[in-house]
Structure formats: C-alpha cells, structure tokens
Amino acid sequence: MSDANPFPPSSLRTPKRASKWGDRVFIVLTGVGAALVILSLVAFVVVLYVGAEASVKQFGLAFLTNRVWLPASENPNIPGNIHGVVPFAIGTLLTSAIALLIAIPLSLGAAIFLTQQAPQRLRAPVGQLIELLAAIPSIIYGFWGLIVLVPIMRYDIEPNLKSWLGWTGWFGGTPTGLDVLTASVILAVMVIPTITAISRDTIAAVPVSQKEAALSLGATDWEVTRRAVLPYARAGVLAGIVLGLGRALGETMAVTLVIGNENASPTSLLSHGQTIASLLANQFAESSGPLETSAMIEAGLILLVITLVINVGARLVLSRLQTGRGVGQE
Amino acid sequence: MILDRHHRRQLFSHSMTVLSGLAIVVIMVPLIAVIYEAVVLGSPAFSFIFFTQRPALGCAPISGITCSLGGVSPAIQGTFVLLGLASLIAVPIGVGAAIFVVEFGGPIARVISTTADVLSGVPSILAGVFIYTILLQYDRALVFSYGSASLALGVLMIPIVVRTTEEALRTVPNSVREAALALGIARWKTGIRIVLVTALPGVVTGVLLAVARAAGEAAPLLFTLGNSCFHPFEGITQEGCALPLWIFQGATAPYQNWYTLAWGAALLLIVIILVISLTSRVVLNRLVRRMGGQ
C-alpha cells in the first residue's frame, strides 16, 4: 500500500501540522485581544470599587443621602470629612434632564425633516454636517460656551426668564451665566447629534409601504409622520434618546467650564452647581486627603454604574430591533 | 378667517414641516458659531512660532505692554506622541478582538461585542480615574506621564476599534472564506491574508475614527498626563502636555496671551480632527467600491 501511495505521509503532514500550529497561535492571539476587552470592563468596575472602599466603609449608605460635601479641615471647630453625593447627583440628573428637554424636540424635528421633507440632494450633506458637530471636542464647546454663551445667558436670556418665569421658583438668584441652565444648554448642543443620527437612521428604515398606506387614506404629510412613521420607529428613537442621556451624564469638560463649580445642591436653575464629572475634573487631582479621593472615586463608581445600566438598556432595545427587522425581511 | 377641516389639517401639516426645518437651522447655529469663533480668535495665533516654540510667560492685558505669544509646540508634540502610543495599545487589542468575534463566532463572541458597546458608553473622565487609581498602587512616579495618559486614551479607543473593525470584517462575504478554506489554506492565513486584507480600508477607517475621538479628549488627561506645557517631549515616563489640555489651561487662566494661544490650539485641533475624519471617509469609500458598491 505504501508503495502505491504517490504522496509519502511526510509531504502531507508537514504543511498540515504547520497550519494547525498557526491556527492555534491565531486563535490564542485574537483570543487575548478579546479577553482584554472583557477584562478592561471588569477591571474598570473592580478598580473603582477598590478605590472607593475606604469611603464605602466610612460613610456607608449615608453617602447616597448626605447633602453635604465637607473635606477634612484643619480647624477642630469646623466639622470635616463629611461626604455625600446628593449635590452632584442632583446636578448631574438636573442638567441632563433639561438638556434632553431641549434636545429631543430639536433632534426629532431635524430627523423628521432630513428623512421626510428635505430635498433628496440636501439629505446626505446636511446629515454629514450634523455628524461633524459630534466630532468637535467637548473642551472646545466648553471654551466657546464660556466666552460666547455665558455672557448671552447672563445679560440677555436669564434676566428675561427671571422676570417671566420667576414665579415658578425655578429661576431665583442673580443671573451669572455660570450656572445649571447654561450647562444644560451646552449639554443639549452636544447630545443633539447623537439623538439626531440614531433617530434619522431608524426613521429612514421605516418601510415605504407604511407611508403609502397612510397617504392613500388621505393623510397629510404630518399625519403620515405622526401616525404611520413615528410609531414604527418609536423604539429606535427611544434608544437614541437614552444613548444621548448616557453621553450627557458623563460629559465633563464643557460642563466644568460653565457650571460655576460649587459643591452644593443647586437652589435654582440660575445657581452654581456641580456634576459628578465636573467634581472629578475640578478636585480629583487636588483632594484634601485619601478619604476625599476615595469619596470622589465612589461618586465616579456611581456614575459608572448609572451609565452602564443606561447603555446596556439602550443596546438591548437597538439589537432586538435589528434582529426583529431582519426576521421580518426574510 | 375660518378654514374648513381639510385646510386646517393642511395648514397644520405645513407648519410642522416649517418647524422641523427650523430645527435643522437651530442645530446648525452652534456648529457654525463654534467654528467661526475658532477661526476668528485662533487664526491670529498662527505663525511659524506657533508650531515651533513653547508658550510665552502668562501676561495680563495692561495698557502699554504688548504680550508676546510664543507657541504651543510642546502641546502639539504631546498630542502626536499620545495618539501614537494609544494606537499602539488599542489597535492590536481591538483588531484582535474583532477578528476573534467575526472569525470564531459563538456565544463568547456576542459577549465581547456587547462589552465593547458598553465600554464605548463609559464617561471618558472615568478612564482617567481608572488608570490613576491603578498606577497609584503600582508606581507613584508613573501616575503623571505620557505612558499613563496613553493607557487612558487606549482604553477609550479599544471599543471603537473593535466595533468598526467588526463591521468591516463582516462586509467580507462568507463565500470568500469558504473558497479559501476549500483550497486548503489554513484558517489563520485566511483570516489575515484574505479577510483582514480585504477589509483593510474599513479597519483603517475605524482606527482613524478612534484616533479622531482620542485627539479631542481632555478629561482623561486631567489626572494622568500631569502638566508640562512648557517643556518639549522628553520621554514617555515624563509629564506632558496635549492640545486639549492646553486649551483647558488657557481658558481658565487670566492671561490674554495664553487665551489667544488656547484659541489657536482649538483651531488646530478642529483642523486635525477634520482631516482625520475626511481621510477616514475617503478610505471607507474605497472599501465600498472594493465590495462592489454594496
């Protein structure tokens, strides 16, 4: 049998073995990359937790309810080393909520216009211009906010808001421009591209038949959008909004430059404030001691957990949407 | 004027169209305003000196004294050093992970791409806190250094590289892989010399997008890079500077000349990011053409 074989086993085996080894090395090397991706997320949570441990031990659950942030002080008459996250949690949630309030109607309007009404020739370039907005660094928006937006808010917008809406109690205090409202406006500018891009993509994916059916029933353009297109794209638009929220919660440099940086809960939209991210940006490098550093890391950990939950939620909605659509088409 | 029901509906529809068109205009205002300010306030700083010298000493605007400007060469050097080092960290890891996800598949692959998605939503300032906290345990001297800051930027770049590389690899039709395997080509050769090379423009686009994002990040540098905006690059274990960090410093300092330099840095940064984004778009178009205009 071996006499009849034109290919001696050695000539067959050598390349085969080499490729087997090559394959092993290939899977191990790419696997290491893959493992590092997972490891970096796990390490993120673990490292921040370890860093926050001193603060967790010291303050316990009171960290989540304490409204005071007092670093260690030299003077024995002044209490020190009390740390609570409440002022920054309020600052973070309030600025993000107002930012969404401003951004959602504008982004939806833009997405609807870009997909439904705009001339075909304009759609791609305008869409790309809006994506360009997302590429400008946060620090530049902050710098622009500081020298252009802050004076406008201080002298033109906030005094008027105060006289018209002062009775609501949301606009107390002296307008300074360096406040929660200005930070929210800057945040809105920064999340609009995110929400617009995702909404535009999901709205553009609505089947034409859906629109034609509504049109054939005599609906006007707006009724088609309102009753046939938007309900179909609802989940995708929602995911876009949630991703925008995730971005707003963690946005740092722009907020830091315009929010006024005061470690207390804001008393109105016109008062100074601080978000978790801006607290870290301002004071992490100059903390009064290990306990304050640890407390700031705990605040960062809370921010991490909130953004992780929000992102996982939004991605789940988006991926379910995509697979759902895939099944529908096949 | 009283309108019948039909005209009322039409009128409402038209006004909604106008409103949504207005939304586009409102959105464009800040974009145009930011770029306008950067050009107007930043271009006076541009000169040969801007690219070659360190910043002049801070100088308050007092009448009768003209402040000399200097340049931001340490920040420019620093930005390129950081982007290079961060890419060295992020590209092999990100591309490796993406190849693993696409070529080997399975439930673990799904976990990895979801993890990358989630990582891309982590606030960038936390990457700085993360690396700072690790290095503080390991070696205090390295906490503020180019190496430390590159790690923080690398962590932020990895998920972007993974996601875009993954998408690029998926555009390569399965029939190509099957054809290669049927010819007896080893899996690793198929993966690298056929699939990866075919998808290369897409991979390059992903890397460029990640670099463009990292170029503008200031937050993760705040407690990893230190502050050495007056000294040229001396080594990756030394403190450093970067364009976004200099912008922050100039924006918050009371000096007229630093402020002008900060706007110059902002304009330069916008130009760098625009060039990277446009390049990535050109490269991506090549991929689309290679894949037969899908």
Kindly report, residue by residue over B84-120, the tens digit of the pLDDT.
999 999 999 999 999 999 988 788 888 898 899 889 8
Q: What is the CA radius of gyration of chain A?
A: 27
Tell me which of A12, A23, A24, A37 to substitute to probe the interface with B (most B C-beta atoms closer than 10 Å): A37
Q: Has residue B3 got a pLDDT over 80?
A: no
Report pLDDT for A132. 81
DSSP-based three-state secondary structure for A43? helix
d(CA A325, CA A320): 8
Q: How buried is residue B264: exposed, middle or buried, by Cβ count under 10 Å (0-12/13-18/19+)?
A: buried
Q: How far is B48 from chain A (nearest CA, A)?
A: 23
Q: Has residue A326 got a pLDDT over 60?
A: no
B30 touches chain A (CB under 8 A): yes
Report pLDDT for A14. 45
Q: Which of residues 69-108 of A touch B (CB under 8 A)?
A: 105-108
Q: How far is CA B57 from CA B60, B229, B250, in A?
A: 10, 11, 12
Q: How far is A177 from chain B (nearest CA, A)?
A: 16
Average pLDDT rounded to a whole number, residues B175-203: 88
Contact at CB, A135 and B277, closer than 8 angstroms:
yes
Contact at CB, A148 and B33, closer than 8 angstroms:
yes
Q: What percent of chain A has pLDDT over 70?
A: 88
Q: Which of residues 18-57 of A touch B (CB under 8 A)?
A: 18-20, 22-23, 25-27, 29-34, 36-38, 40-41, 43-44, 47-48, 50-51
Contact at CB, B212 and A135, closer than 8 angstroms:
yes
Q: What DSSP letter does each residue of chain B carry, written as one string?
A: ----HHHHHHHHHHHHHHHHHHHHHHHHHHHHHHHHHHHHHHGGG-SHHHHHSPBPPP----TT-PPP-B--HHHHHHHHHHHHHHHHHHHHHHHHHHHIIIII-HHHHHHHHHHHHHHTTS-HHHHHHHHHHHHHHH-GGGSSSHHHHHHHHHHHHHHHHHHHHHHHHHTS-HHHHHHHHHTT--HHHIIIIIIIHHTHHHHHHHHHHHHHHHHT--GGGTTTT---TTS----TTS----HHHHHHHHHHSS-HHHHHHHHHHHHHHHHHHHHHHHHHHHHHHHHHHHTT--
| Per-residue DSSP letter, A83 | E
d(CA B6, CA B14): 12
Contact at CB, A304 and B19, closer than 8 angstroms:
no
B216: amino acid identity, one letter? G
Q: Has residue B272 got a pLDDT over 90?
A: yes
pLDDT band at A8 (very low <50, low <70, confident <90, very high): very low
Contact at CB, B244 and A243, closer than 8 angstroms:
no
Task: Name the phi and psi angles at B233, rounded to 5.
Answer: -60, 130
Q: Are strands A69-70 and A82-83 parallel, antiparallel or unpaired?
A: antiparallel
| Per-residue DSSP letter, A151 | H
Q: Has residue A228 got a pLDDT over 60?
A: yes
Contact at CB, A33 and B100, closer than 8 angstroms:
yes
Would you say A281 and A303 are in contact if contact means Cβ atoms under 8 Å apart?
A: no
Q: Which residues of A touch B221 (CB under 8 A)?
A: none
Q: What is the CA radius of gyration of chain B?
A: 24
B13 touches chain A (CB under 8 A): yes
pLDDT band at B294 (very low <50, low <70, confident <90, very high): very low
Residues 6+ apart with CB under 8 A from A74: none
Q: Which of residues 228-257 of B touch A (CB under 8 A)?
A: 244, 247-248, 251-252
Contact at CB, A297 and B133, closer than 8 angstroms:
yes
Q: Has residue A325 got a pLDDT over 60?
A: no
Contact at CB, A144 and B33, closer than 8 angstroms:
yes
Average pLDDT rounded to a whole number, residues A286-291: 82
Q: How far is B245 from chain A (nearest CA, A)?
A: 9
Contact at CB, B34 and A136, closer than 8 angstroms:
yes
Report pLDDT for A5. 52
Question: pLDDT of A135-160, one tens digit each?
Answer: 899 999 999 999 999 999 999 988 88
B179 touches chain A (CB under 8 A): no
d(CA A236, CA B126): 28
Q: How far is A67 from chain B (nearest CA, A)?
A: 23
Q: Least CB-CB distance to B218: which of A220, A243, A253?
A: A253
Residues 6+ apart with CB under 8 A from A93: A249
B191 touches chain A (CB under 8 A): yes
Report pLDDT for B67. 77
Q: Which of residues 229-258 of A touch B (CB under 8 A)?
A: 243, 246-247, 249-253, 257
Domains and CATH numbers, chain B: 73-290 (1.10.3720.10)
Q: Has residue B277 got a pLDDT over 60?
A: yes
Q: How buried is residue A205: exposed, middle or buried, by Cβ count under 10 Å (0-12/13-18/19+)?
A: middle
Average pLDDT rounded to a whole number, residues A112-125: 87
Would you say B241 and B222 are in contact if contact means Cβ atoms under 8 Å apart?
A: no
Which of A67-81, A297-311, B146-160, B177-191 is predicted with the least confidence, judged by mean pLDDT? A67-81
A42 is written with which tokens?
């796990």
Give the A:B interface size as CB pairs under 8 Å. 262
Contact at CB, A110 and B27, closer than 8 angstroms:
yes
Q: Which residues of B touch A323 (CB under 8 A)?
A: none
d(CA A185, CA A102): 8
Nearest alpha-carbon partner for B95 in A25, A32, A30: A30
Extents of the domains making up chain A:
9-47, 85-329
Contact at CB, A19 and B188, closer than 8 angstroms:
yes
Q: Which residues of B touch A191 (CB under 8 A)?
A: none
This prediction has a pTM of: 0.89
Q: Has residue B248 got a pLDDT over 70?
A: yes
Average pLDDT rounded to a whole number, residues A13-37: 78
Mean pLDDT of chain A: 85
Task: Name the phi and psi angles at B222, rounded to 5.
Answer: -55, -40
B21 is written with which tokens?
């068109």
Q: How far is A77 from chain B (nearest CA, A)?
A: 32
Q: How buried is residue B293: exposed, middle or buried, by Cβ count under 10 Å (0-12/13-18/19+)?
A: exposed
Average pLDDT rounded to a whole number, residues A28-46: 92
Q: What percent of chain B has pLDDT over 90?
A: 46
Mean pLDDT of chain B: 88
Residue of A nearest to B89 (CA): A33
Report pLDDT for B190. 87
Contact at CB, A147 and B20, closer than 8 angstroms:
no
Would you say B101 and B113 are in contact if contact means Cβ atoms under 8 Å apart?
A: yes
Considering the segment(s) A85-329 as one domain, its CATH architecture is Orthogonal Bundle (1.10)
Report pLDDT for B60. 75
Long-range contacts of A322-329 (CB under 8 A, 24+ apart): A325/A205
Q: Which of residues 45-84 of B touch A (CB under 8 A)?
A: none
Report pLDDT for B92. 95
Contact at CB, B247 and A250, closer than 8 angstroms:
no
Residues 6+ apart with CB under 8 A from B37: A144, A147, A148, B263
Report pLDDT for B70. 85
Q: Has residue A163 got a pLDDT over 90?
A: no
Tell me which of A11, A96, A114, A139 to substitute to probe the interface with B (most B C-beta atoms closer than 10 Å): A139
Q: Has residue A9 got a pLDDT over 60?
A: no
Nearest alpha-carbon partner for B37 in A153, A126, A143, A131: A143
